[in-house]
Amino acid sequence: MRNLFMKVTYDGTHYFGFQTQPEGNTVQDMLEQAIAHLTGETVKITASGRTDAGVHAYGQPFNFETASQIPLERWCLALNARLPEDIVVTEAYEVPLSFHSRRAAKRKTYRYTINGNRFPDPFQLRYQFHHPVALDVPAMEEGLKKLIGTYDYTSFASRKSTKTSHVRTIFSAHMEIDRSMCRPDSSDQGVIHTYITGSGFLQHMVRIIMGTLIQVGEGKRKPEDITGILAACNRAAAGPTAMAKGLALWNVSYEDPGEQAGVTGSKKL
């Protein structure tokens, strides 16, 4: 058997999230069907984590075992030919049988995108939360920085979370404003990207963080309120869950380059 590790990019608009659901129509289903079509095997893939319905991914890692002898360099094109066009496999590696995409993941980065311009961008409708009302972005970023560290993030987790511990680490977080689409002499405030990198994230965690930071940006809360919200360990203390469509799993990284046992050194596409 071989253990194949791949990365997939997808537009999550038309799927019920990444992970298989009773209703079907998930990214995982599409990938498993494409693999079955290609190899004749029924495989179960393991991803770095799930994404909610409507959430996108630029680089979602997954792995699976196969007896197929198809050469590594053929997999991406062969799978893409059997996938819908909004799901694209971009990288393929062979890794040790012990490698597990979720357990080995060290850092995950999510990006949340707010279009702060006066009008929606018809080319980005499915990937941005449109918020034309003025946002105090420096205040939002000040609040965001207070989330960096190792904390119990219960206030920022869905009440449906079944995890026994809500302690996670946020390593870094920052905001970037892209003003390239701002019209001159307008009230356009740019496209505001928020990047958050952590050890792992609870259900809805990035979206609840964003819903709370948007309230900071609107002046409804102060940046220093974030500290108290964290301490409350109560979902009711935080703001609403921001819309799924603005969220994308941006990147997942594994071991540091020097000590990387699982992925580096493997055969690469």
Compare residues 92 and 216 and give the one whose CB is closer to a copy of itself. Answer: 92
Compare residues 34 and 140 and give the one whose CB is closer to a copy of itself. Answer: 34
Ligand-binding annotation for 195, yes or no, is no
Compare residues 130 and 145 and give the one whose CB is closer to a copy of itself. Answer: 130
**Cβ of residue 260: shortest distance to a copy of itself, in angstroms?**
14
Interaction site with a copy of itself (CB under 8 A)? 9-11, 56, 76, 80, 85-91, 118-123, 125, 127, 183, 185, 268
**Cβ of residue 79: shortest distance to a copy of itself, in angstroms?**
11
SS3 track for the chain: CEEEEEEEEECHHHCCCCCCCCCCCCHHHHHHHHHHHHHCCCCCCEECCCCCCCCEEEEEEEEEEECCCCCHHHHHHHHHCCCCCCEEEEEEEEECCCCCCCCCCCEEEEEEEEECCCCCCCCCHHHCEECCCCCCHHHHHHHHHCCCEEEECHHHCCCCCCCCCCEEEEEEEEEEEECCCCCCCCCCCCEEEEEEEECCCCCCHHHHHHHHHHHHHCCCCCCCHHHHHHHHCCHHHCCCCCCHHHEEEEEEECCCHHHCCCCCCCCEC
- The yes-or-no answer on residue 52 being catalytic is yes
**Cβ of residue 56: shortest distance to a copy of itself, in angstroms?**
7
Compare residues 11 and 52 and give the one whose CB is closer to a copy of itself. Answer: 11
Among the options 52, 136, 152, 185, which is catalytic? 52
**Cβ of residue 180: shortest distance to a copy of itself, in angstroms?**
11
Annotated binding residues for substrate: 110
Query: Known catalytic residues?
Result: 52
Q: Give the residue ranges of the annotated binding site.
A: 110
